[in-house]
Structure 1
């Protein structure tokens, strides 16, 4: 399969799970203000649909679990929440090509060079 086909399939999956239409390579999938059930579902479908080895993936480095509203307010006020790593569509496409999870390069421009 080629990048064009994989990108179309990835966009369809993102649309199916998150209901997002305007998808580009820079879009941060884990910054869509979604609930953890949708995030879990997306990552499970991503793994299955593209046959990806996700053994090295640490969900909590990229996604939060849902919180009670009071805990959420406390964390926002006191900034105790750890910043999550970015998970872009471009990186997910690179993972599809490699067929296994790998950490994104800290420089997001390098992921574009793989496409």
Structure 2
């Protein structure tokens, strides 16, 4: 291969890598959107955990080791994101309840005056 052919090939590789990185980022944002908008994160968590267990149980002939390992890692990240979303929802619910109780308390104090 000539230097210009090598340079052209490397440029193609760079373009492919950039496209894969952009796709990965888009998938991450999509995943966050699905988790954030899903009404039943507990069910979503069960599905992700079942997928993790299924992949961990696959033999190497059913799923290449590198692909299975990378997929399990991504699913573990999704599991972490779901747990974080659940925690955030719980904290928001608790804050809303505290605010509601405070408003009731204020209303009661104003009626006593």
Q: TM-score, normalised by structure 1?
A: 0.26
Q: TM-score, normalised by structure 2?
A: 0.26
Greater RCO (CA < 8 Å, at least 6 residues apart): 1
- Between Structure 1 and Structure 2, which shows a larger proportion of helix residues? 2
